[in-house]
Amino acid sequence: MLKYILCTLFTIVAFSVGYTMFSMNQLGEEWGYFSIPLLLFSWGVIWLLFEKRFSKMPHKWKLFALATIGGLVLAMGFPPVPLTFLMFIGFVPFLIIEDEINQHFQQTAKWEVAKYMFHGFLVWNILSTYWVCNTAFVPGIVAIVLNSIFMTIPWVLFHQTKKVLNGRFTYLPLIAYWLGFEYVHLNWEISWPWLTLGNAFAEFHSWVQWYEYTGVFGGSLWILLSNILIFSLWKNKAIINAKDWLKLATVILMPIGCSLLIYHTYEADGATVEVTVVQPNYNPHYEKFTVPASEQLRQYIRLSESKVDSNTNYLVFPETSFWLIDQENILSNYSLKTLNNYIKQYPKLNLVTGVIARKIFKKNEPLGNAIRTRIIEKDTIYYEMYNASIQLSNDQTSIPFYKKSRLVPGAEIMPYNKFFFFLKPIADKLGGSLAGHGIQDKRTVFTNEDGVKVGTMICYESIYGGFSTGYVKEEAGANFLTIITNDGWWDNTAGFRQHLRFASLRAIEYRRSIARSAITGSSCFINQRGDIRQATDYEVEAVIKDKIILNDKITFYTRWGDLIGRLGLFAAIIFLLNMFAKGWLQRRMDET
């Protein structure tokens, strides 16, 4: 009876919240945090309806509660919640679940493991990335569910490996599978690495100054090792075993101590440039693409004039500030032509801005990989669209152009669109395109007349540490970085705050200062230690100015990238091959 009462209550809550969100959307209002109860209570209804078929475990309610606690703890340990230390115990409930299932079933029980892990990771994904539904509701749900499934796979593989290899390598396979998963998740087209474990330390970046050597994979490894040690203490009931507790304290506290030492002794030493950052404050849902371009241009110039002077070297505008740009003739756009004339008042000034551009291909010209077509008077026009950045400078002979190359799945790229070609008529009818946006193979930096080089990460690109080393490596050699973004899609929620804090990790990995410009969200400056300065508020027009220090030194991480992730993937492949080989041999022996 209780089950049906709860199911009814959950359905009423989910329906009420859903109706409220629909009404808000009709009134042009943002959803904010409403996605959380809708998703959680909807999942609650689904689980209650299928509860009897959920698991064969005798203590399934206990394990279900443990999985729920695991998801809650991981969410509470993830930015912007300042309880990062909880990440060191967030996987312990999952380890307990797997251990109990392992003891209860003589053979592998991958589906039992999968069900509980999926539930726990779904709770974490909903509580930490609910805001993705505020951009596009159905794709947001798909992203949350898929990511929860992907997170489940390493645990299923670990459980099977543990059974087949009789626990010979204890928990090394789990570490390998998880790191391998995170590395793959950074490098395939269905990429959504927002919840990479190492990102959790963005809330306390002073703890991970050694990211200049390891990148975020060092943080992921640290979390995995700590959880496994704590679980081992719990399992062995080593409450008063000083040696084991000393081992745990060393694993957790030594990296923090080393990091704090680096943090307090690090000194940035180099030339400086004066940078002005503009936050125009346009809501992307209801304003950005409806307010006339001429009005937005006046807003940009008005804000710029309040801070730009003869000593300003760089003026930074956010992502997609101007649109309908012809890549072959950029200054044919009235706004950019006006801004090009504006910067001539200041001989030192360079303008870095985001644009939406297109390239129309001439007849017999080689086509790109994201081709769209349009028929005009029986002629087929081939063109590509770009989310891009440019730099306008005094006396330049050509305008440098960079195409955003890490695209948001669904919004900017249809993953593996050659496989899903049959969806093209639906995408065309909805006004979209399976082709997505055009990209480029290598990162491009912009150089001014003094030889200063700036790399421009466009929004989503800034969560990819290894990818963005391309701006800083010797062949590109950026002396400082900008992040241009449009964080208003996620409303005033954890989304833009997480994105802001992740930028601190990029500053540490490359030891590069960052100027961050958001249409709305939070604009700021970040120094080479990852400290955020002059952060602006959400939904406030603002302009900030600062002198930032240049750097041309190359960190270990910049040179070697996600080395730990690659090693994890290699180890995962070895464990998989070992498991399959031993499983095959065992089956052959059983047959004979």
Query: Chain-wide mean pLDDT for the chain?
Result: 91
Quick: pLDDT tens for 500-531. Answer: 999 999 999 999 999 999 998 899 999 999 99
Q: What is the DSSP string of 89-104?
A: TTTHHHHHHHHHHHHH
Question: Which residues does 275 contact at the CB level (< 8 Å), separation at least 6?
Answer: 312, 313, 314, 315, 316, 515, 525, 545, 546, 547, 548
Quick: pLDDT tens for 568-591. Answer: 999 999 999 988 888 777 766 666
Quick: pLDDT tens for 369-393. Answer: 888 888 877 788 889 999 999 999 9
The CA distance from 434 to 126, in Å, is 27
Which amino acid makes up residue 51? Answer: E
Please give the CATH architecture assigned to the domain spanning 272-550. 4-Layer Sandwich (3.60)
Q: What is the pLDDT of residue 421?
A: 62
Counting every residue written for the chain, the total comes to 592
Comparing C-alpha atoms, which of 21, 55, 26, 23 is closest to residue 39? 21
Average pLDDT of the residues in 69-81: 97
Three-state DSSP class for residue 192: coil
Q: What is the pLDDT of residue 431?
A: 45
Quick: pLDDT tens for 112-154. Answer: 999 999 999 999 999 999 999 998 888 899 999 999 999 999 9
The CA distance from 244 to 52, in Å, is 41
Which amino acid makes up residue 532? Answer: I
pLDDT at 104 over 70: yes
The CA distance from 498 to 514, in Å, is 16
Quick: pLDDT tens for 166-224. Answer: 766 789 999 999 999 999 999 998 999 999 999 999 999 999 999 999 999 999 999 99
Q: What is the pLDDT of residue 463?
A: 95
The CA distance from 177 to 156, in Å, is 10
DSSP state of 345: T
Comparing C-alpha atoms, which of 145, 148, 218 is closest to residue 179? 218
Q: What is the pLDDT of residue 425?
A: 56
DSSP β-ladder status, 272-279 and 542-549: antiparallel
Q: What is the pLDDT of residue 422?
A: 57
Whole-model pTM?
A: 0.94
Quick: pLDDT tens for 256-306. Answer: 999 999 999 999 989 999 999 999 999 888 888 888 999 999 999 999 999
Over pLDDT 70: what percentage of the chain? 95
Q: What is the pLDDT of residue 430?
A: 42
Quick: pLDDT tens for 460-496. Answer: 999 999 999 999 997 889 999 999 999 999 999 999 9
Order the strands of the 453-458 sheet from edge to edge: 445-447, 453-458, 480-485, 514-518, 524-526, 532-533
Encoded tokens for 128: 């930490």
Q: What is the pLDDT of residue 563?
A: 97
What's 272-339 look like in SS3? EEEEEEEECCCCCCCCCCCCCHHHHHHHHHHHHHCCCCCCCCEEECCCCCEEEEEHHHHHHCHHHHHH
